Amino acid sequence: MSGIPAAVLVALRLHNTLSRRIEPLEPIRTGQVSMYTCGPTIWNYAHIGNFRTFLFEDLLRRWLEASGLSVFHIMNLTDVDDRIIREASTRGTDIRSFTEPFARAFFEDRDWLRIRPAHVYPRATDFIESMIALVQGLMDRGFTYQGEDGSVYFAIDRFPAYGRLSQLDRRELKAGASGRISADEYDKENAQDFVLWKAARPEDEAVGAAWDAPFGRGRPGWHLECSAMGLSLLEREGLGPVLDIHAGGVDLIFPHHEDEIAQSCAYTGEPHFARIWVHGEFLNVRGSKMSKRFGNITTPRDLREDGVDPGALRLLLFQTHYRQKLDLTDDGLAAAREGCRRLGEFDARLRRSGLRPAGGESEFAAWGRSLEQKAGEALDDDLNAPEAVAATFQALRDGNRLLDQGSLPAEADLAAWERAIGVLDIMPVGTGAAAILSAWPGQGVAAGELPESPPAIPAEAEAWAMAWAAARSAAKGRKDYKEADRIRALLAGAGWELRDTRDGRAEVRRSTG
């Protein structure tokens, strides 16, 4: 008898916005987690407040994978909404040309901040068919009505669970539900029937933001996009109609996620669109809520130009729990830069020190175990990154003391250090591990359909490498070792190094040098 696979025993507990309680993560499928994180609206450079959310999601993803789970991660790019149409129209261009540079910039910023790429980045305008099918399904089930202009609205009083996620009072709802709203963004005071499909106006046509549908030419509402892309990708991967985790910033709880739940559950008939909803708090810049509306934009590229190390920025953000507001201040940033520098210095000292022979006793063995245990317990406890960071700095102090005393680490101790810092990834540039991409076993593409050479666009090249790594795992599963070797060589030829993890998954990383 083999033991219970480690992946069955998930120790992670997360704060679920649905229940306002910390709950154990119980994956729907043993060893696998489906995760949807709302991505950027590519109408501008994403600001550091957006990236605080993406970084907490990155930590969640890394910790799930470090815990032995296969994660299927979807992040959408919103490339059609009120603001994009307005901006494209002002510049006399179409929405595709207008948004493309911001999509590229987003991937650059993501890579600079060492955020693990999602397995798919669906763009709203590539999923119009799924959106039309979702609207049609909701119409057939009686959850909608059409306005005079042909726009399709979701009738929230026909969905009794409406307001559950945002804890919207039923009385507030009654008072507000007398009308309907067609704007993409609105607040709780304006809880009303929301738009699923907006009838095409001449200004939409002018920028390429109108599509034919059985219920009239138009374009999707913002909230509809995530439901349609999430459900359609889950189906493609054979993962059923419910996500394990849905994440985003707290500003998305209402109306965006409330509306996603209404559309998705009314369509599927399931009680949930996601089992667990996790939300990250705001980042304040010197005391005021960080948002483009307030005019105090700070983007990762501003910080990069300022010479800030991405490791320092990760450290700064992880020093505050994701559910607490964080003030970004110059002092805080300076302290994080110093902390990051010290980590790099210690890491170099540890590697220079030489290894003690296997079997030799040393206090370093307890040091490595203690770090991994403390950091692991902290992250299992609703992703308590500040505690994990504290454990890392404790290890730095203890490790320096041990080295001062002439103790030497064994290879296993170094490995424990690398695993712990690999999850937070708060080391300075040049010392941290290279970006690792984890393959998803399904990956949605049969090996026969995969091109043999990588696409030129970096994000697509990553998806290509992850898909081949998944195809190789499948070949190994079939005991087709010849094909598995061929794929390894194919990846190596395109500059990707492949590694099997102890739990049977595959990882790829760009070869260095």
- Residue ranges that bind Zn ion, judged by CB under 5 A: 38, 226
Q: Where are the alpha helices (DSSP H) in 381-410?
A: 385-404
Strands 218-220 and 193-199: antiparallel
Instruction: Tell me the residue nearest to Zn ion as measured from the CB.
Output: 226
Q: Which is nearer to Zn ion, 50 or 67 (CB)?
A: 50
State in angstroms the smallest separation of the CB of 135 from Zn ion.
16
State in angstroms the smallest separation of the CB of 275 from Zn ion.
16
Backbone dihedral region for residue 408 (phi beyond 0: left; psi -120 to 50: alpha; all else: beta):
beta
Q: Which is nearer to Zn ion, 263 or 320 (CB)?
A: 263
Q: Which is nearer to Zn ion, 16 or 264 (CB)?
A: 264
Instruction: List 279's β-bridge partners, or say none.
Output: 248
Q: Indicate the residue type of 488.
A: R
State in angstroms the smallest separation of the CB of 156 from Zn ion.
18
Tell me the C-alpha distance between 197 and 29, whole Å.
Answer: 34
Q: Give the angle 120-114-110 at the CA atoms, nearest 5°.
A: 55
Q: SS3 for 51?
A: helix
Q: SS3 for 25?
A: coil
Q: CB-side exposure of 184: number of CA atoms within 13 Å? A: 18
Q: Which is nearer to Zn ion, 38 or 508 (CB)?
A: 38
The answer to whether 195 touches 181, Cβ cutoff 8 Å, is yes
State in angstroms the smallest separation of the CB of 169 from Zn ion.
24
Q: Which is nearer to Zn ion, 277 or 496 (CB)?
A: 277
Contacts of 176 (CB under 8 A, 6+ apart): 189, 190, 191, 192
State in angstroms the smallest separation of the CB of 184 from Zn ion.
11
Q: Which is nearer to Zn ion, 38 or 55 (CB)?
A: 38
Q: Which is nearer to Zn ion, 260 or 380 (CB)?
A: 260
The answer to whether 306 touches 337, Cβ cutoff 8 Å, is no
Q: Which is nearer to Zn ion, 25 or 274 (CB)?
A: 274
CA-wise closest residue to 302 among 116, 117, 112: 112
Q: SS3 for 112?
A: helix
Tell me the C-alpha distance between 339 and 226, whole Å.
Answer: 38
Count of Cβ atoms closer than 10 Å to residue 498 Cβ: 22
State in angstroms the smallest separation of the CB of 218 from Zn ion.
20
State in angstroms the smallest separation of the CB of 223 from Zn ion.
7
State in angstroms the smallest separation of the CB of 256 from Zn ion.
5
Integer CA distances (angstroms), 46 to 103, 107, 299, 484, in order: 10, 10, 6, 39
State in angstroms the smallest separation of the CB of 318 from Zn ion.
24
Tokens representing residue 174 in the block: 């009654």
Q: Which is nearer to Zn ion, 131 or 226 (CB)?
A: 226
